[in-house]
Chain A
Amino acid sequence: MSEPLIFHFDVDGDNFTSAGQASVTIKKDLRRLGLSSEIIRRVSIAMYEGEINMVIHAGGGVADVRVFEEYIEIVLTDRGPGISNIDQAMQEGFSTAPDAIRSLGFGAGMGLPNMKRYTDDMKIETVVGEGTTITMRVNLT
């Protein structure tokens, strides 16, 4: 099996307006690899939601994307406050985002549900007070 292609991004926690740089970049990278527009759409939206979450809640983090022959894996890692109730966080409409974020059009409580919606597999590892790692997978076959 050939080695996966690896893309690494630092997500800046202070700059809300530049959030999405990693997803826009990965979109271009995946297009260059000749993947279908639907796959690209799913990966880049899932990643954007993750990026936005890291900016809103965790002061930034890192995003790693690995492209294997059979699937794409996205790993988002932050050192934020963690998620105390994952079931609640996964509910559409539940959000702890502050009002300033809502006025930008975010904080609809759709971030994590969208990440699940657009990926074939999603795993959340979180420790309150230490951080969160989310691993998502989009199948290519």
Chain B
Amino acid sequence: MTVHELLQLPDLTALCLEDGEREIDGVYIGDLLSWVMGRAQSGNAWITIMSNINVLAVASLADVSCVILAEGVTLSEELLTAAKEKGINVLSSSKPAYETARLLFGSLS
């Protein structure tokens, strides 16, 4: 499933869709950035509530397919511009991380 296709799900909206055709391969949930870098796999959709500039660096370096900000968290205009420059897909979910993961589970499996 691609990031673009994932956006068909209810409760998800695109904040920055730079590479909608990127395939999603699994899901990782976490807010501690080093933990994410150590454990997330390339291609994972990364669900987090963190929304600072370092999230974009980690998303880029860990090579995740998209960042999904749970609990309706969004990015500032400045960070959205940075996400665009870095080519990072950023989505927002109105649901908590667990509910968001459940949504993805139903679609990815």
Give residues in A with beta carbon < 8 Å to B.
17, 19-20, 23-24, 27, 37-38, 41, 44-45, 48-49, 52, 104-106, 108-111, 113-114, 117
Contacts and interface: CB of A to CB of B under 8 A. Distances in A.
The 9 closest A-B pairs by CB, nearest first: A110-B34, A20-B57, A108-B32, A105-B33, A114-B38, A108-B34, A44-B61, A105-B50, A17-B53
Interface of B: 31-35, 37-38, 42, 50, 52-55, 57-58, 60-63, 86
A114 B54 contact: no
A40 to B, nearest CB: 8
A19 B61 contact: no
Contacts of B62: 41, 45
A43 to B, nearest CB: 10
Contact of A110 (B32, B53, B54, B55): B32
Count chain A CB atoms within 10 A of each CB in B33, B37, B53, B62 and give the residue with the most: B37
A69 B31 CA distance: 37
A38 B52 CA distance: 25
Contacts, number: 64
Q: Which secondary structure dominates chain B's binding surface?
A: helix
Contacts of A48: 37, 57-58, 61
B54 A20 contact: yes
B61 A110 contact: no
B61 A41 contact: yes
28 contacts: A17-B52, A17-B53, A20-B57, A24-B86, A27-B60, A27-B61, A38-B42, A41-B42, A41-B62, A41-B63, A45-B62, A48-B57, A49-B34, A52-B34, A104-B33, A105-B32, A105-B50, A106-B32, A108-B32, A108-B33, A108-B34, A110-B32, A110-B34, A110-B37, A110-B38, A111-B34, A114-B34, A114-B38
Nearest to A110: B34
Nearest to B41: A41
B37 A105 contact: no
Given A37-B63, A45-B62, A106 B57 contact: no
A105 B32 CA distance: 5
Given A20-B54, A105-B52, A110 B35 contact: yes
B66 to A, nearest CB: 16
Contacts of A45: 37, 61-62
B83 to A, nearest CB: 13
